Amino acid sequence: MKLYITKGSPYARIVRVVVLEKGLTDRVEIISAKTRHANSPYYSINPSGRVPYLVRDDDVGLEESAVICAYLDCLEGKPAFELPVGDQAWEARRLEALARSMLDGFAVWGRESRRPQNEQSPTILLHEADRARRLVDLWEREIDNPMFRGAFNLAQITLACALGFTALIPEFHWRPGHPKLGDWFDQISAKPSLAATVPPVHH
């Protein structure tokens, strides 16, 4: 199988972490794609131009990190990232969605702040900075949830990749006032699958 990524994409990182956690490195070839570039050859592979994108062994392509993660998790019939049972399933879904919501905002902010200055929208930058501040305040409370202490799960992976992406938004200083979230992030970042997929930072 082929997994198209960019090294900076936090969504692709979520899938790369699952590939490592599931021990699938021999079955999944990781390929860097050229995204956001007129006439990129990648567009003939994935017309949406987005990463992550998994081309399965039967040549069918899959978009969406959550869909690709679920596919890879079930590939060898021993899922490790399935939802827990009962009420905990809703808690897992809620927290994964909340982490993804924050990540979606960070992604917009990061993209906007990397545009040439004369193309940046001050309105978008302010909107995303405000959203980010509200959400890290919320996460400072949510991080006490037992879901973030137990076995590695997709809510944890999504949150770790969201916070990891802030290295690419140097104007966002989220650590002050959020000591529990900072401690959690430092601890989880030591996991080999996260350490191996840290986004490169160019300033």
Residues numbered 48 to 107 that lie near ligand GSH (CB under 6 A) are: 49-52, 64-65, 107
Cα atoms in the Cβ-side hemisphere of radius 13 Å centred on 174: 29
Number of residues that bind ligand GSH (CB under 6 A): 12
CA distance 6 to 187: 25
Radius of gyration, alpha carbons of the chain = 17
Q: How far is the CB of 100 from ligand GSH (least distance, A)?
A: 7
Residues numbered 98 to 157 that lie near ligand GSH (CB under 6 A) are: 107
- Candidates 7-15, 17-25, 86-94, 119-127: pick the segment binding ligand GSH (CB under 6 A): 7-15
Q: Quick one: 52 or 184, whose CB is closer to ligand GSH?
A: 52
- Build a one-symbol-per-residue string for 20-59: x at contacts with ligand GSH by CB under 6 A, - elsewhere: ---------------xx------------xxxx-------
Q: Give alpha helix (H) positions in the chain.
A: 10-21, 65-74, 87-113, 122-142, 154-165, 179-189, 192-195
Q: Quick one: 49 or 61, whose CB is closer to ligand GSH?
A: 49
Asked if 3 touches ligand GSH (CB under 6 A), the answer is no
The only residue of 5, 9, 96, 147 in contact with ligand GSH, by rule CB under 6 A: 9
Q: Which three-class secondary structure state does DSSP give residue 149?
A: coil
Phi and psi for 40 in degrees, rounded to 5? Answer: -60, 135
Q: Quick one: 99 or 147, whose CB is closer to ligand GSH?
A: 99
Strand partners, 32: 5
Q: Which three-class secondary structure state does DSSP give residue 30?
A: strand
Phi and psi for 178 in degrees, rounded to 5? Answer: -135, 60
Site residues (vs ligand GSH, CB under 6 A): 9-11, 35-36, 49-52, 64-65, 107
